[in-house]
Structure 1
Amino acid sequence: ARTIAQNEESCVVFGMPKEAIKLQAVDEILPLDQVARAILQFDSRA
């Protein structure tokens, strides 16, 4: 499994992503407009 967190700059409310990042529980931190592309790229590698 992979975990993607939205970056602070593109968040309206950064609470949940911030906690996941703080716990080092994410594989990537991306702006919202790049999240879908990252998911599709991961899916195509499976």
Structure 2
Amino acid sequence: MPALSAASALVGAMVLLGVWSGRRWGRRRKRALDAEAHSLRTHRDG
């Protein structure tokens, strides 16, 4: 299933990006990223 493989590839890329950004920026950005994700989630739900 191409859709399933694409979704798994996207998830894997997001995980790798998160690990890479975590190593690059440290924990200082985590709060900003969490706030952004929270705003996006609330905006999507609303």
TM class by shorter-chain length?
Answer: 0.3 to 0.5
Higher-Rg structure is 2
Q: Which has the higher contact order (CA 8 A, sep 6+)?
A: 1
Larger strand proportion of the pair: 1
Larger helix proportion of the pair: 2
